[in-house]
Amino acid sequence: MALMSLLEVQGLTKTFAGLTAVSSVDISVEDREFLGIIGPNGAGKTTLFSLLAGSLPPTEGRVVFDGVDVTGWSAQKVARTGLVRTFQLMRPFESMSVLENVTIASLANRSRKDARRHALGVLERVQLAQYAGTSSGSLPTAGLKRLELARALAMEPRMILLDEVLAGLVPAERAPMIELLRDLHADGLSVMFVEHIMAAVMALSERLVVMHDGRVLTQGVPAEVIAEPQVIEAYLGEDYA
């Protein structure tokens, strides 16, 4: 039998009332790979993540994670296989503390007492430990981004789908976040990330997929992909080139 990629996506399609947001997408992601996804607004990147992570059921196609066909499974059930997403618009329980929010995510895999201890470890990992007791609603954007990451990590993913984790950060906040993502990847986490900040995309991606109009326009080695005329035309613009 041929060796399988950690994530295999075949013919994935999502139609919303006549609009095809994701159209026949085929993507394979290897264990421990760091894959970047770019494309213009409305290209279907967030919808793709929703389909992969079980937040939305696909209209057609298959999602196979770690050899298991998870197509149409709930987000909770997909997460238990090790595939977990973050959201572009963070939505923690605002009245709860940072620690409580992460503890709830940890409860997916463990008892209440263990979950709290595990959550504290995750907060250390994302450098939010000093805010453990802070109410989540009062965190600044950079803290909310880390909390969103922490909640996903608390579910102990093998592969994480990051939806614009750098958006909204000021330049000085980006470098430490890029460093954190690089460390998580070095520790064995497989990552797929959607990002508009090209410096981050180029610093982290081992391979790049470009989406346009719901389809994969092209994919490959990042430096080669961003030099393709069709990518410049569809997304990057002449300025970037």
List of residues contacting ligand ATP (CB under 6 A): 16, 19, 21, 39, 41-47
Closest CB 18 distance from ligand ATP, rounded Å: 10
Burial readout 184-212 (b: 16 or more C-beta within 10 A, e: otherwise): bbeeebbbbbbbebeebbebbbebbbbbb
Q: Which is nearer to ligand ATP, 99 or 194 (CB)?
A: 194
**Cβ proximity to ligand ATP, 102 vs 210, nearer residue:** 210
Q: Give the shortest CB-16-to-ligand ATP separation in angstroms.
A: 3
Question: Which residues face 15 on adjacent strands?
Answer: 20
**H or E element that contains 156:** none
Q: Give the dihedral sign, CA 58/12/47/168.
A: positive
Asked if 152 contacts 181 with a C-beta cutoff of 8 angstroms, the reply is no
With respect to ligand ATP, which residue has the nearer C-beta, 21 or 115?
21
- Shortest approach of ligand ATP to residue 235 CB, angstroms? 10
Judge whether 150 and 122 are in contact, CB under 8 Å: yes
Smaller CB separation from ligand ATP, 88 or 97: 88
Residue 8 Cα distances to 11, 57, 216, angstroms: 10, 16, 14
Residue 189 CB, nearest distance to ligand ATP (Å)? 22
> Please, what is the minimum distance in Å from the beta carbon of residue 40 to ligand ATP?
7
80 contacts 108 by C-beta, under 8 angstroms: yes
Closest distance to ligand ATP from the beta carbon of 3 (Å)? 31
The residues that bridge with 69 in the sheet, in sequence order, are 64
Q: Please, which residue, 16 or 240, has the CB nearer to ligand ATP?
A: 16
Pick the closer one to ligand ATP by CB: 54 or 123: 54
